[in-house]
Homo-oligomer: A and B are copies of this chain.
């Protein structure tokens, strides 16, 4: 172990096979132009010697640029969530820039389906080596995936999964299971017989299987663990504008439906701060309020105690991992798992600080 364990190299294989290194390289990379028997012989030796290429030497010698593209929702004040995944992607890109990988970032308007498909088309036109995609609109995603397949461009889905697509991997959370977590947390908080509320704040144009799965997981927990409560869960759907803000009428929509003091409330996405501010305004106390994601406004309400738990989905790591998945697939030739579920982080006031940069 003292010496740099003398690995077998291309020249070893070449001399064993009685050919030149160039020929060995040709069979390693399937570049053709090699006689079948030469090829077999070399392949045999490679297996026998357990050859592993030296990636450093390889990327140094082949100065070809690998271009990875990302297409994510633009993050802004309405939509701060997406800043972190983008940052994670950049961090990964920076870490392995020595391998000659270049990142090309693209963004679309989260609330605009046309923006999604036109940006996706632009990305495809550039023919990147690989693509990280937030498949917010599933129909448009399917269309794009056909083109990408033809061009042989591998795709990693980030944050949301779309079924029946040939993405090489999905990096994100398990939404059903995170709903289960939310349910158990509320179960800890509540001790009387008041009812529970699930609040979905979304705009209808969005494909929201993600949110539906969270709700399903939540209900499933109680069906399994507490039949009485399972019978006292009401869902409230709030319509948010295309801008991402809930209607001016959030109050109007919410107030009549929030009959009496609720035991606990589960908000199925990051919009939980709207509910928190509503509760504060009308001085409504709940035993438990649970929502998603460490947005600045959510953090405020977590710290002041109006929100009890936030569930976080490692947005930065989603980005980092997506990029690395592509890198390992294309450069290191390592296959990734079809689904890479990230942990379902439970955040309280006390451990919040340790998650902010994740």
A-to-B contact residues, CB < 8 Å:
1-5, 54-57, 59-60, 63-65, 67, 98-100, 102, 104, 174, 177-178, 180-181, 183-185, 188-189, 191, 221, 288, 308, 341-351, 353-355, 358
Question: Are B345 and A348 interface neighbours, CB within 8 A?
Answer: no
Question: Are B348 and A354 interface neighbours, CB within 8 A?
Answer: no
Q: Which residues of B contact A102 (CB under 8 A)?
A: 1-2, 4-5
A180 to B171, CA, bound (A): 31
Q: Which residues of B contact A99 (CB under 8 A)?
A: 56
Question: Are A348 and B350 interface neighbours, CB within 8 A?
Answer: no
- Cβ-closest 5 pairs across A and B: A346-B346, A344-B351, A180-B350, A343-B354, A4-B65
Distance in Å from the Cβ of A222 to the closest Cβ of chain B?
12
A299 to B352, CA, bound (A): 24
In the complex, the chain B residue whose C-beta lies closest to that of A186 is B188
Question: Are B65 and A348 interface neighbours, CB within 8 A?
Answer: no
In the complex, the chain B residue whose C-beta lies closest to that of A344 is B351
Question: Are A351 and B65 interface neighbours, CB within 8 A?
Answer: no
Distance in Å from the Cβ of A52 to the closest Cβ of chain B?
9
Distance in Å from the Cβ of A350 to the closest Cβ of chain B?
4
A133 to B55, CA, bound (A): 30
Q: Which residues of B contact A348 (CB under 8 A)?
A: 181, 184-185, 346
13 intermolecular pairs with C-beta atoms under 8 Å apart: A1-B67, A1-B104, A177-B350, A178-B351, A184-B349, A185-B348, A188-B188, A188-B189, A188-B288, A341-B354, A343-B354, A343-B355, A346-B348
